Amino acid sequence: MQLIRFRIDLAPRCSLGPGKIALLEAIADKGSLTHAAAKLGMSYRYAWLLLEDLRRSFSEPVTRATVGGRRGGGVELTEFGADLVRRYHLASRRIEAAARTALAPLVRKSVARPARGTRGRTRSIKPAA
């Protein structure tokens, strides 16, 4: 279970969080903004806006258009884009480890709330090892 989700504000109007990282990973996987958006369950327009925000946030491009292929091209991560994803995950693992250590007593005392419509049935959450 992931304990922490975070966003980094690198500069004014330059943020990076789980949504943008997930989009970049989906682009790397699918090779298409359309297919990446569909994989994540977001509209093409929203995905395009996230990508446009990333484009404006950095002095280097995070993606590049590809030409050719059966469907006429797509999009792929640049070396900088791949490095952005890698560094975000590195920071995420370090933050997660620190949070697990600091919050372990609270996690052990937490109680799962029943999902809506389960009429009070509960189960306890076991902290991750």
* Count of C-beta atoms within a 10 Å radius of residue 49: 12
Q: What is the dihedral of CA 75, 76, 77, 78, to 10 degrees?
A: -100
Report in angstroms the alpha-carbon separations of 36 from 5, 76, 87: 21, 11, 21
Q: What is the pLDDT of residues 1-23, one digit of tens each?
A: 667 788 888 888 888 999 999 99
pTM given for the model: 0.77
Rg of the chain in Å (alpha carbons): 19
DSSP assigned state of 72: S
pLDDT one digit per residue (tens) for the chain, 129 residues: 667 788 888 888 888 999 999 999 999 999 999 999 999 999 999 999 999 999 999 999 999 998 876 666 799 999 999 999 999 999 999 998 998 889 888 877 888 777 776 555 555 555 555
* Count of C-beta atoms within a 10 Å radius of residue 14: 13
Domains assigned to the chain: 12-109 (1.10.10.10)
